Structure 1
Amino acid sequence: MKLSNELKAFEERLGHRFKRPDLLVRAVTHSSISSATRPDNQRLEFLGDRVLGLVMSEALLAADTDAAEGQLAPRFNALVRKETCADVARQIDLGAVLKLGRSEMMSGGRRKEALLGDAMEAVIAAVYKDAGFGVAQKLVLRLWGDRIATVKADARDAKTSLQEWAQARGQKPPKYVQISRSGPDHAPVFTIEVQLESGEMAQATAGSKRQAEQTAAQSLLQTLGA
C-alpha cells in the first residue's frame, strides 16, 4: 500500500515511517467512513490506550522514585486523559489527515476533542504494532515532552480543585447545572453552570458535558483567585 502525500507528510510530523502503511491508514479512519473493506480505528484505539498507559506509568515511576500511589494516580490521569491526547494530536496536526464521513466533516470532526484523542491513541497503537513497544515508547515520550516533568502542577483537574476549595471552607460540593443543549445529535453543544453554596457561579460552553464542566470550574477558580 502506498500512502498519500498528506499521510507521508504526517509521518514526518509524527516522526515515524511505517513499514506497514496500512496500520497508519487504519489509525486515521473514523467509524463514520468505515466499511467491510475499510476497517476503522476503534480496535487500535483500545490498544493504544493501554500502550500509552504503560508508557506513562513507567515514566512517572522513573521521574519520582519516592511518590506514593496516591500521588502518582492523579498525575497519570492528567497525562492520559482525552484532553491531553487531543492536545498532542493538534501538536502534530493529526486532524488534517483523519478520514471522516461527510456528516463528521460537516460538523467539524477534525477539531473535536474526543475524536482527536481517540485517533491519537490509535496512532500510538499503530506505531506499536509496526515497530514494537520500544519505538512506541520513545515516540510517546517525545510527543508528550515536558508534560511529564510538569504534571505535578496539572495533576488535579479543575473540578477536583474547586471541590477541595469548597470543602476547605465548609461548603457543600459544587453543583453543575445544564443550562442548555443545542446542535444536532452528532455534534451537541452544552452550556453548564457551576454553582457554589456561597453564591459564586460561572458558565461555560463546550462540545461535551465533561469539558463544559471542567471549563466552568476553571473559570470560577480564576474568579476566586484559587
Structure 2
Amino acid sequence: MSAGALDPEARLWLEQTGFAVGDEALWHAALTHGSLGETKDYERLEFLGDRVLGLAVADWLYRQSEAPEGRLSQRLNALVSREMCATVARELGLAEHIRISKQASADGGRDSENILGDVMESLLGAQFIENGFALARDLVQELWRTALDSGAGQRKHPKSALQEWAAGNQRRPPQYEVTDRSGPDHAAQFTVKVSIFKVGEAEATAGSKSEAEREAARLFMEKYG
C-alpha cells in the first residue's frame, strides 16, 4: 500500500458511514494518531472539524427551536462536547479504524474519550474540505440524529446547577481540585474533588479534567442537593 493510501476496510467504513472520500491522503491523515510519528496526523483537521461541528449543530438548533440564546447555548455545549463526540464515534465503530501505535493502543488509546472525540472531529474537517459545508452539515445532523432528537443538553450542566444551588442556599462557591492524574497523555485519567465549605465533597474520575469536574458536580448534587 502506497504512503497516504487508505486501508480498503477503512475506506469502505467511511463511505458506508456517509463520508464522501476523494483524496485518500487527506482521510489517511484524519485517521492517524500522532503516536505513529508521521508527517501528517489528525490534529489540524480536528481543529477545523470542531468548528464545522459547532456550526452544523447551531444551525439545527436555531431552525428547530424557538428557545432563547441561553438555552440554545446550553444544548450546543452538550451536543458538541468531547463526551458526545466520543459517544457518536463508539456508536459508529470508529475505534478499529484509527491508525495508532501499538503502545498507545495497548495503553487504551482506542477507547480514549479524547482520541475518539478528536478523530471524529478530524473526519468532519476532512468532509468539509472535500465536499463543502452543506454536505458536512447534513452528515453531522444525520450522525448526531439520536442526540439531537433525544433532547440531550436540555438539562443544565451539572457545574452550572451546582453553582446555582450553592448561591441559592447562601453557600460558598464550589471548589474543584485535581487530586490525581494517571496514565499516558493520550489516555490520561483525571480525578477531581469538588467541595463546598461546611456542606461536603464528592469525587469522580474521567478521561478529561472537564468531564471529571462535571461528574463530580453531578455526584455532589445527587448526594447533597
Aligned-partner Cα distance in 2 for 1:209–1:89: 20
Deviation at 1:146, TM superposition (A): 3.4
**Pairing of 1:13-162 with structure 2 (within 5 A):** 13-36=16-39, 39-64=40-65, 66-149=66-149, 150-154=151-155, 156-162=156-162
Q: Secondary structure at the match of 2:154?
A: helix
In structure 1, the gaps of 5 or more residues are none
TM-score scaled by structure 2?
A: 0.87
Alignment partner, residue 214 of structure 1: 214
Shift in Å, 1:184: 4.2
Q: Judging changes above 3 Å, is the alpha-carbon distance between structure 1 residues 13 and 176 closer, same or farther for their aligned structure 2 residues? A: farther
| Structure-1 separation of matches of 2:101 and 2:16 | 24
CA gap of 1:6–1:124, structure 2 versus 1, over 3 A, is same
SS of residue paired to 1:100: coil
- Structure 1 residues 186 and 53: alpha-carbon distance in aligned structure 2, compared to 1, 3 A threshold: closer
Corresponding residue for residue 13 of structure 2: 10
What is the aligned-residue RMSD (CA, Å)?
Answer: 2.1
- Does structure 1 retain, via aligned residues, the 8 Å contact 2:114–2:207? no
Q: Runs (4+) of structure 1 moved beyond 6 Å? A: none
Aligned residues: 221
Compute the displacement of 1:97 (Å).
Answer: 0.8
Q: Per the alignment, in what secondary structure is the counterpart of residue 29 of structure 1?
A: coil
The CA distance in 1 between the partners of 2:136 and 2:188, in whole Å, is 34
Partner Cα distance (1:152, 1:102) in 2:
36
Shift in Å, 1:70 = 2.5
State the identity as a percent. 39
Q: Is the 8 A contact 1:82 1:113 kept in 2?
A: yes
Q: Mean Cα displacement is larger for which, 185-194 or 69-78?
A: 185-194
